């Protein structure tokens, strides 16, 4: 029997209006001078204005500071600058608001606050992670699940590569899932981020690690996404759908403490080398990745199909997989996510570099079945 560690420790506030709880919670966490970490696009949103009003103004004696330089696929410089802003203002905690990128930068910046000049690429050799400033995550997208994750995905080094900085101390002390904050998210981003959450749930469920708790969470996450994502995409003000998607994304984030698979290994290089949105990259590779796994491990998607509401309990393994994969393909198409990689600027001449980085990406090491260089080349060609 394999040994395992199960961990679900994050305090999470859920519901429309829960952002109003933030000042009281900051007091409880002894955060008096928080650094807000976000990206430039967030500053003009209703979500940011609400946070601004909730925290109060400097005239009211409130002290909070802002770093808003986070890039869409965050780079090391973002983390360094956020840490510098923290130190310059003598902050005592970090609040990240936005999608996965500000959340990942806010999380990792606390390590550089404690260890100025630290080389993030060598995080695995850091023996002492104690004393990190408390971190509060306020997601405005329902996708990455970074708010409940203990990792931070930052593009490091030359050549550029998405690196996963991992440590339990990176976890947030508090997560606020307020659906009112995500209702301004445009349909395209709603679909792409939701596809990321869906991919987390599917890949973590099928990853061959013994973790029945995560498996249950992943399957319920799939059910919620199938129910709520089309509504959130069609009708952005549907707070019930937005709320279910926020929870489902957090569930995907919890579930993938099991790990991920081949689709994420394909998606990461598409972001670093071709600048593609992470959720979109997953969406465009998901069906190819599922077909690949099902051919080698028949029956792998039967329970995914059941979570999607399909009657696949008694059919053959091959039929169950085929129906689950067709459902996911149609589901993505219904969200406008049935384009090909070439529609987003990926060219045949990119394939060698994409395959090279995908092979080095750690996610496929826990895929349901092994993936070779040739497999990656075929998979990218299929998605191209
Ligand atoms: Fe992801």
Q: Which residue has the tokens 């199938």?
A: 226
Q: Which residue has the tokens 């990461």?
A: 268
Q: Which residue has the tokens 């060698």?
A: 352
Find the helix or strand (DSSP H, E) in which 164 lies.
strand 161-166
Cα of 272 to ligand 1 centre, how many Å? 14
**Ion ligand 1, residue ranges at CB < 5 A:** 196
Q: Up-side HSE of residue 178: CA atoms within 13 Å toward CB? A: 22
Find the helix or strand (DSSP H, E) in which 161 lies.
strand 161-166
Note the pLDDT of residue 118. 86
The C-alpha atoms of residue 46 and residue 282 are separated, in whole angstroms, by: 28
The C-alpha atoms of residue 6 and residue 377 are separated, in whole angstroms, by: 35
Note the pLDDT of residue 5. 72
Please calculate the CA angle 25-29-31 and round it to the nearest 5 degrees.
95
Question: Mean pLDDT of all residues in the chain?
Answer: 94
The C-alpha atoms of residue 213 and residue 215 are separated, in whole angstroms, by: 5
pLDDT digits (tens, 9 = 90+) for 51-70: 999 998 766 777 999 999 99
Cα of 257 to ligand 1 centre, how many Å? 12
Q: Is residue 253 within 8 Å of residue 145, measured between CB atoms?
A: yes
Note the pLDDT of residue 136. 98
pLDDT beneath 50: ranges in the chain: none
Q: Is residue 105 within 8 Å of residue 96, measured between CB atoms?
A: yes
Note the pLDDT of residue 2. 66
> Hey, how many other C-beta atoms are within 10 angstroms of the C-beta on 94?
31
Q: Which residue has the tokens 């009112």?
A: 180
Note the pLDDT of residue 108. 96
Cα of 162 to ligand 1 centre, how many Å? 12
Cα of 268 to ligand 1 centre, how many Å? 9
Q: Which two tokens stand for residue 194?
A: 């939701």
Cα of 72 to ligand 1 centre, how many Å? 14
Q: Is residue 83 within 8 Å of residue 109, measured between CB atoms?
A: yes
Cα of 254 to ligand 1 centre, how many Å? 12
Q: Is residue 138 within 8 Å of residue 144, measured between CB atoms?
A: no
Note the pLDDT of residue 1. 66
pLDDT digits (tens, 9 = 90+) for 125-148: 877 889 999 999 999 999 999 999
């Amino acid at each position: 029997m394999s040994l395992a560690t199960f961990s679900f420790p994050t305090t999470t506030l859920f519901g429309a209006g829960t952002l109003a709880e933030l000042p009281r919670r900051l007091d409880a966490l002894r955060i008096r001078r928080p650094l807000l970490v976000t990206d430039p696009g967030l500053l003009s949103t209703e979500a940011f204005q609400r946070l601004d009003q909730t925290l109060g103004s400097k005239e009211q004696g409130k002290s909070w500071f802002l770093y808003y330089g986070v890039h869409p696929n965050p780079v090391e410089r973002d983390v360094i600058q956020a840490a510098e802003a923290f130190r310059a203002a003598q902050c005592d905690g970090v609040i990240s608001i936005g999608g996965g990128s500000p959340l990942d930068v806010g999380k990792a910046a606390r390590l550089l606050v404690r260890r100025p000049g630290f080389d993030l690429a060598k995080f695995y050799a850091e023996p002492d992670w104690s004393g990190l400033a408390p971190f509060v995550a306020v997601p405005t997208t329902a996708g990455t699940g970074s708010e409940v994750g203990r990792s931070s995905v930052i593009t490091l080094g030359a050549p550029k590569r998405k690196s996963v900085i991992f440590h339990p101390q990176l976890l947030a002390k508090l997560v606020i899932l307020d659906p009112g904050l995500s209702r301004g998210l445009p349909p395209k981003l709603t679909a792409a981020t939701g596809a990321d959450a869906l991919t987390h749930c599917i890949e973590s469920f099928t990853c061959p690690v013994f973790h029945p708790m995560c498996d249950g969470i992943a399957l319920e996450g799939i059910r919620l996404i199938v129910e709520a994502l089309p509504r959130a995409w069609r009708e952005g003000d549907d707070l019930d759908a937005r709320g279910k998607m926020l929870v489902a994304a957090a569930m995907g984030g919890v579930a993938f403490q099991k790990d991920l698979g081949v689709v994420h290994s394909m998606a990461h290089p598409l972001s670093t080398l071709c600048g593609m949105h992470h959720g979109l990259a997953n969406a465009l590779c998901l069906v190819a990745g599922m077909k690949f796994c099902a051919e080698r491990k028949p029956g792998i998607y039967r329970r995914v199909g059941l979570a999607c509401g399909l009657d696949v309990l008694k059919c053959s393994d091959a039929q169950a997989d085929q129906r689950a994969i067709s459902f996911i393909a149609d589901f993505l198409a219904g969200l406008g996510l049935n384009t090909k990689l070439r529609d987003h600027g990926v060219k045949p001449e990119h394939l060698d570099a994409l395959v090279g980085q995908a092979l080095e990406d750690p996610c496929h090491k826990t895929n349901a079945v092994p993936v070779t260089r040739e497999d990656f080349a075929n998979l990218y060609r299929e998605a191209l």
